[in-house]
Structure 1
Amino acid sequence: MSGYAEGRLEPLGIRLPAASSPAARYANYVIVNGLMYVSGKGPPGEPKGKLGERYTTEQGYAYARLTGVEVLAVLRDALGSLDKVKRVVKVQGFVNATPDYEEHHKVLNGFSDLMLDVFGDKGSHARSVFGAVSLRDQLPIIVDSIFQVEE
């Protein structure tokens, strides 16, 4: 029987993909003293472009949510179950945006809302979001995150 987080996926219509591989020479994640640091992930399909130019805030929100699904896939791959996540600790988002774009926080809500949907109260987290002049592969968003986990 699955616990809370694993049991939330189907009602949310989420099928986790295989965990994506790192884009360069680094680990997908590192676990130290019960904290799991997940390397920066972007949305699947490698969309290219900036918020405020090619994409709307609503599209950015959807990309951030899809990025969250990528992170969930890494968590399950590493831990065997999302139910081993004790808490989402910190989320940091980088939004590829035009200089006049001002809704970075609304874009990253796509990721944050997914963490709350999947983990309930354990999904509440500290957060930072930054506008970026460019991101790898011209992705619209990259998110790195920290989780407290059962080892």
Structure 2
Amino acid sequence: MSGTVEAKLAALGITIPAAAAPVANYVPYVVSGNQLWISGQISAADGKFLAGKLQTEADIEAGRAAARQSAINLIAQIKAALGDLDRVKRIVKLVGFVNSAPDFIDQPKVINGASDLFAEAFGDAGRHARSAVGVSALPFNVSVEIDAVIEFA
């Protein structure tokens, strides 16, 4: 364990997984100046997908759990890119995509699963701008995919 953020995550019972390798023609992250741009991370854990379309196959709590797992996977990419989570100065922006039935309107409640974790782990630096978007499908029928922009020291 290298620092304060990892200690907070451990206190929450979270073990940071290995960063996922890309499954197509893209890179998992790009560093530009003092910004880290992270490709979309899906709701998967231990080789299993947290899947289902919100409202017809999954409820809001399952969606929040999927968003939280996507955030954990984002944190794994941050650690892979920066080596030390304490280098994060600010979670600048999250974009959350929610696999939604046509009349599902609670995408913000679902993506709160990720936003809440970033605030718990990074404190004020974890509070961010955000979009929560409903989409008709996501890879592997996962419930959530999230990408992020991070400022670092």
TM-score tier (shorter): over 0.9
Q: How does 1:135-150 map to 2 (within 5 A)?
A: 135-150=138-153
Q: How does 1:23-38 map to 2 (within 5 A)?
A: 23-38=23-38
Work out whether 1:42 is the aligned partner of 2:42: yes
User: Partner residue of 2:22?
Assistant: 22
Work out whether 1:103 is the aligned partner of 2:106: yes
**5+ residue gaps, structure 1:** none
Work out whether 1:56 is the aligned partner of 2:23: no
Structure-1 separation of matches of 2:43 and 2:138: 12
The number of residues matched between the two structures is 150
User: Partner residue of 1:132?
Assistant: 135
Structure-2 separation of matches of 1:13 and 1:23: 28
Identity across matched positions, percent: 41
Q: Could you say what secondary structure the match of 1:65 adopts?
A: helix
Note the C-alpha offset of 1:100. Answer: 0.8
Runs of 4+ in 1 over 6 A off after TM superposition: none
Paired residue type of 2:113: G
Paired residue type of 1:106: K
Q: Could you say what secondary structure the match of 1:10 adopts?
A: helix
Paired residue type of 2:58: Y
TM-score, normalised by the number of residues in structure 1:
0.95
Q: Over aligned residue pairs, what C-alpha RMSD do you find?
A: 1.2
Note the C-alpha offset of 1:2. Answer: 4.0
Paired residue type of 2:125: K
Residues 69-127 of structure 1: CA deviation (Å, up to 9, x unaligned): 11111111111111111110000001001011111000000000000010000001000
Work out whether 1:13 is the aligned partner of 2:13: yes
User: Partner residue of 2:87?
Assistant: 84
